[in-house]
Amino acid sequence: MRLENPRPDETVNYSTEHPLKEFVWLLAGVSAIVAAAVALAGYFAGELAARVPFRVEKEYAAGITRHWEAQRLTPEGGEARATLRMLAAKLAAVMALPPGMDVTVHYADEKTVNAMATLGGNVVFYRGLLERLDSEDAVATVLAHEIAHAKLRHPASGLGRGVAVGVVLSVVSSGMGRGVGGDPVQVAGLLPLLKYNRDQERAADEAALAAVAALYGHVGGAREVFAVLGKLGRDDAARIGFLETHPLSSERLARVDEQARLRGWAPDGPVRELPPALAKLKPAQRTE
């Protein structure tokens, strides 16, 4: 018997293809598949959720409404809420809400610089943002923006979309055997979701502009709002547009002018002073 150990054949057991070639193909292919799956699932889930009757959404969101209604407000806060509700009623009148839909505005005595629309037509306006706005027009623009979200059923479609996208991404994540982390595949999956978000913000901006233009005859308040938002937090230069949930403030400001030009609205005009109940919240005038 002749025994021999030849040298290992290095062309059999492993591929000699450059690893970067496989990496690029896999990354591009998988990212495209995940992004397409997320976009599809997000689209259908969002559309489906937005078709749930508002009455059902409101019942579902009864807990949210109760939570905000149960907030104990100072007399100043109560006055602010009443003023916001009056302003919201004026805006709703020009915004043609669908039959059966109503919007409830809540005032949150917190320093958060934000306002939000959530399920069941609930709109929350935080003190932090109110303190930074200098005119009724600006407050109305924010309110109209949030009412537009409710009118366009964005909170419902956002929830439906979030659930569907969460399911798709968790399946991908467990399939890859890695945490969500900063994986580009996960980022690729989130890109369509962020795009939907930004599209919703643009739609709400447009509806809000139409409402304030109808109410005040110009869109100067919107310019103030986006200028204030632009000064908050990070500079637009330090943001990457397609990774953001909202369009950049600079873009929103430019769109105000563009929309004004296209629709024949006056881009600027005399703004109304803050109603006294809201003016009292400004830090310089607050007694606390």
Whole-angstrom distance, CA of residue 92 vs CA of residue 102: 8
The 30-69 site mask, x for binding another protein (CB under 8 A), equals x--x------------------------------------
Collapsing DSSP to helix, strand or coil, 33 comes out as helix
70, 240, 262, 284: which one binds another protein (CB under 8 A) = 240
75, 98, 177, 264: which one binds another protein (CB under 8 A) = 177
Q: What b/e sequence results for 146-166 when a residue is b if at least 16 CB atoms lie within 10 Å of its CB, and e otherwise?
A: bbbbbbbbbbbbbbbbbebbe
**CB nearer to another protein: pick between 12 and 262:** 12
183, 201, 205, 224: which one binds another protein (CB under 8 A) = 183
Stretches 76-84, 173-181, 188-196, 213-221: which one binds another protein (CB under 8 A)? 173-181
Cα 125 from chain centre: 15
Residue closest to 268 by CA, chosen among 230, 216, 232: 216
Whole-angstrom distance, CA of residue 131 vs CA of residue 128: 5
Q: Is 5 in the site for another protein (CB under 8 A)?
A: yes
Q: Is 11 in the site for another protein (CB under 8 A)?
A: no
Q: Is 184 in the site for another protein (CB under 8 A)?
A: yes
The residues, any chain, with a CB within 8 Å of residue 222's CB and separated by 6 or more, are 137, 138, 141, 205, 208, 209, 212, 256
- Which residues lie near another protein (CB under 8 A)? 1, 3-5, 7-8, 13-15, 17, 19-20, 22-23, 26-27, 29-30, 33, 172, 174-179, 181-185, 187, 234-235, 238-240, 243
